[in-house]
Amino acid sequence: MSMESLPDALLQYILSHISNARDVAACNCVSKRWKDATTYVRTLYFPRNSFDNPSSGEIPDNIVQRMVSNVVKLEELVVYSPFSPSGLASWLSLVGQSLTQLELRMDNLADNQASRESPSKLDCIGAAKNLVSLKLWGVLMINSPKWDVFQNLSTLEIIGARLEDPVLTVVLLACPYLKRLLLLGCEGVRSISIELPYLEECKLDFYGLGNCSLSLISPKIESLEVQGCSWIRVPETGHLKKLSISNSSGRVYMIDFGNLNVLEFLSMRGVQWCWDAICKMLKLASEVKHLFMKVEFTGDFEALQPFPEIDFVEFFNSHPKLRKFDIHGAMFAALCQRNSLKHVDPGFVIPCLEEAVITVRSPLNAEQKISTLESLLKYGKNLRTMVIKILQMKSCHTSADDFFDEICRLRYMNHEKVRIE
């Protein structure tokens, strides 16, 4: 008995899991029996180079259409190779009903103005009415697509897009049941208001001047990541567990959140945050277990200011559940203040801290910094690892060498816990 006597059911099961279009096409030609079995394929994936060497004179759109038509109930279609709106329309007229996942490389970012072609590729997508997940790469979204509401769409991912605010609004109105929204590498957004009642995960990455405004009203939100906004308002945060705010080009000046009682992870990153915003964020995140702080400067206006001092004892007392602490450069320097460590209450303890990662950039204020590191070790009863990262220290000053020596001494005295990178 050999492979050719494999029962139909098993053959169908095996072949239905082959998704690369080239392999499916090959299986279609292996034998009649195999061609019948490939009608049960569930996913068709056309890589970027699928039609780089066209053999017959057939145009790629038609080849895709032929393969799509050979499948009984296609669930997922992924096309990275180039295609036209009419091609897309013809495929979706065949499988629009059964398709639950669609991923397309739209490739029209380079167009300077929207093509007058009607319907556009974006419009055509509306034919896949039962989509559960839609992922688009490189889209030009300056004309609102003519979509009805996607009743089943729970995931929308747009990666690399040029958007205009009203168009984004129209798009989101067509997806009221979204649970996951990812807008990555998107340019052109100025101000966006998102009201999605079922949204649980949201990741926004806006290119540009870093001065976008975001208003998000999604009471079920559990994970939020925002890059490139300066004004952020998220009033309903009862379920928010993971929050990451970063701005590498602009200034974060206003954050307005509801209470963050269940927040476990907070990451604050950026070139400049207003001091008010930092304090507010740290105050709200009192239950946080993992805190990542990497903000270079503060200051309410254009001028970049160094940080005022943060009281060490008060900081750790207001974040009692902190287990993992990542702190960089300027913010660490702010924590190293003379006065807070002078009269420490004997009962003071940092109860839950297990892991600390500290990045040190300059040897200024070396004594305070060492003293803070020592305090972390002394009061952190459960501290298991401390990693000290030393970056680009300007070693033209002898103090840099002294500082480095001190750190090495600290490491030597606590060698099971401290590590230098």
Partner 1 sequence: MELLCIRQWISGLLPTWLSAWCIKPVGGALVRQEPEYILLALMGSPLKKIMLCSSEKEIFSVEEQVMVQHSVIINNMIEDGSYNHEESKIPLDCVDSKTLKKVIDYCTHHTHHHNDNQEDLEAWDAQFLNVDSNGLYDLLMAANYLEIRNLLDLIYGTIKNMIKGKKIDEIRRIFNIKDHGFTPEEEEQNRKEYPHFY
* Residue 58 is a binding residue for partner 1 (CB under 8 A): yes
* Residue 6 is a binding residue for partner 1 (CB under 8 A): yes
* Residue 396 is a binding residue for partner 1 (CB under 8 A): no
In the bound complex, what is the minimum distance in angstroms from residue 21's beta carbon to partner 1?
11
Q: Which residue from 31, 261, 339, 385 is in contact with partner 1, where contact means CB under 8 A?
A: 31
User: Packing angle between helix 85-95 and helix 60-69, nearest 10 degrees?
Assistant: 0
Alpha-carbon distance 112 to 303, whole Å?
A: 36
Alpha-carbon distance 145 to 44, whole Å?
A: 25
b/e code 15-26 from CB counts within 10 Å (16+ = b): bbebeebeebbe
What single letter denotes the amino acid at residue 161?
A
Q: Stretches 17-25, 76-84, 115-123, 187-195: which one binds partner 1 (CB under 8 A)?
A: 17-25
Q: Which is nearer to partner 1, 55 or 392 (CB)?
A: 55
Q: Which residue from 55, 112, 113, 392 is in contact with partner 1, where contact means CB under 8 A?
A: 55
* Residue 48 is a binding residue for partner 1 (CB under 8 A): no
Q: Stretches 32-40, 212-220, 350-358, 397-405: which one binds partner 1 (CB under 8 A)?
A: 32-40
In the bound complex, what is the minimum distance in angstroms from residue 24's beta carbon to partner 1?
10
* Residue 26 is a binding residue for partner 1 (CB under 8 A): yes
CA nearest 278: which of 266, 290, 289, 287?
Answer: 266
Q: Which residue from 29, 110, 303, 396 is in contact with partner 1, where contact means CB under 8 A?
A: 29
* Residue 41 is a binding residue for partner 1 (CB under 8 A): no
* Residue 49 is a binding residue for partner 1 (CB under 8 A): no
- Sites for partner 1 among residues 305-334 (CB under 8 A): none
Alpha-carbon distance 240 to 212, whole Å?
A: 22
Which positions ≥6 away from 237 have C-beta within 8 Å?
221, 257, 258, 259, 260, 263
DSSP helix, strand, coil percent of the chain (3-state; round to 5): 30, 30, 40
What φ, ψ does residue 377 adopt, rounded to 5°? -70, -35
Q: Which is nearer to partner 1, 1 or 303 (CB)?
A: 1
In the bound complex, what is the minimum distance in angstroms from residue 29's beta carbon to partner 1?
4
Alpha-carbon distance 271 to 39, whole Å?
A: 54
* Residue 52 is a binding residue for partner 1 (CB under 8 A): no
Alpha-carbon distance 98 to 131, whole Å?
A: 8
Q: Which residue from 8, 14, 339, 367 is in contact with partner 1, where contact means CB under 8 A?
A: 14
* Residue 20 is a binding residue for partner 1 (CB under 8 A): yes
CA nearest 421: which of 363, 370, 328, 359?
Answer: 359
Residues that bind partner 1 (CB under 8 A): 1-6, 10, 13-14, 17-18, 20, 22-23, 25-34, 53, 55-56, 58
